[in-house]
Amino acid sequence: MLRMISLIAVMALGLSACSPAVTTGVDGGVRVYNISARDANEIPYRVLDNVNQLRAARGVGQLALSSELNAAAATHARDMSVQNRPWHFGSDGSSPLDRVRRTGYAGQFLGENISETFESELETVAAWMEQPDTRDVILAPGARNLGFAWFQEPNGKIWWTLITGS
- 90/74 Cα distance (integer angstroms): 12
Q: What is the pLDDT of residue 28?
A: 55
Residue 100, classified by CB atoms within 10 Å of its CB into exposed (0-12), middle (13-18) or buried (19+), is buried
- 48/43 Cα distance (integer angstroms): 8
**Closest CA relative to residue 133, chosen from 150, 166, 110:** 110
This prediction has a pTM of 0.81
- 63/2 Cα distance (integer angstroms): 56
Decide the pairing of beta strands 30-31 and 23-24: antiparallel
Delineate the domains of the chain, giving CATH numbers in brackets. 46-165 (3.40.33.10)
pLDDT digits (tens, 9 = 90+) for 69-124: 999 999 999 999 999 889 898 989 999 999 999 999 999 999 999 999 889 999 99
- 38/112 Cα distance (integer angstroms): 26
Q: If you ran DSSP here, which 8-state letter would residue 104 be given?
A: T
